[in-house]
């Protein structure tokens, strides 16, 4: 498991392996005659196996759990942090494709995290989305989106697909 304040969600690629393993058992293919990785490569093209990693930052555990589950369900890998400082520490190790951060966070608020990420050479190109329970009067110029809570899931997913699609990998996982 990760450090306190961090949850590691099962990556979408691992879920595919679990599904393929189940399919192989249903079809009666013995472990010696095939394996989950071979089945995935056979049934899903390599582009379908590419996933995007999203770093979700919110001090509300329920919100973290809900957003992480939503993203994993839709084929993303999700890493969570409960404060801005922990998110900053995770950025280099996890190398997410997108950061989704609440504005009001302990230790380092979402706007400060945004500015720090945009000033750092290794994180400046990561799309950044802010969410807030109160309307923000200013949108950071390079932020991909600012979303008002409660979040509309369809709109959130559309924004996420736009943001990570702009980085070159757009292949969704099969549903």
Q: What is the pLDDT of residue 86?
A: 94
Sign of CA dihedral 164, 160, 52, 25: negative
pTM for the predicted model, two decimal places: 0.68
- In this structure, the dihedral spanned by the alpha carbons of residues 18, 157, 87 and 73, taken in order and rounded to 10 degrees, is -20
Instruction: Say which residue, 9 or 122, is predicted with more confidence.
Output: 122
Domain ranges of the chain: 6-10+51-165
Residues 6 or more apart whose Cβ sits within 8 Å of residue 126: 91, 96, 97, 98, 99, 117
Instruction: Say which residue, 166 or 81, is predicted with more confidence.
Output: 81
Residue 62 has a CB neighbour count (10 Å cut-off) of 8
Residue range 6-10+51-165 in CATH 3.30.360.10 = no
Q: What is the mean pLDDT of the chain?
A: 73
∠ Cα 117 170 119 (to 5°): 10
Q: What are the pLDDT digits (tens) for 21-78?
A: 555 555 554 444 555 555 444 554 444 445 789 999 999 888 888 888 888 888 888 8
Q: How many whole angstroms separate alpha carbon 79 and alpha carbon 126?
A: 15
């Amino acid at each position: 498991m990760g450090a306190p304040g961090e949850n590691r969600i099962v990556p979408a690629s691992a879920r595919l392996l679990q599904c393929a393993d189940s399919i192989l058992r249903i079809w009666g293919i013995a472990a010696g005659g095939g394996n989950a990785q071979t089945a995935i490569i056979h049934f899903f093209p390599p582009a379908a196996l590419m996933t995007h990693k999203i770093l979700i930052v919110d001090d509300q555990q329920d919100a973290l759990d809900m957003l992480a589950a939503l993203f994993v369900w839709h084929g993303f890998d999700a890493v969570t942090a409960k404060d801005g400082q922990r998110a900053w520490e995770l950025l280099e190790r996890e190398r997410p494709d997108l950061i989704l951060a609440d504005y009001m966070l302990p230790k380092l608020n979402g706007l400060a995290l945004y500015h720090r990420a945009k000033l750092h050479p290794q994180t400046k190109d990561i799309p950044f989305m802010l969410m807030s329970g109160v309307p923000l009067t200013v949108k950071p110029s390079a932020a991909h989106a600012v979303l008002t809570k409660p979040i509309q899931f369809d709109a959130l997913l559309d924004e996420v697909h736009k943001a990570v699609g702009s980085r070159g990998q757009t292949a969704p996982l099969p549903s």
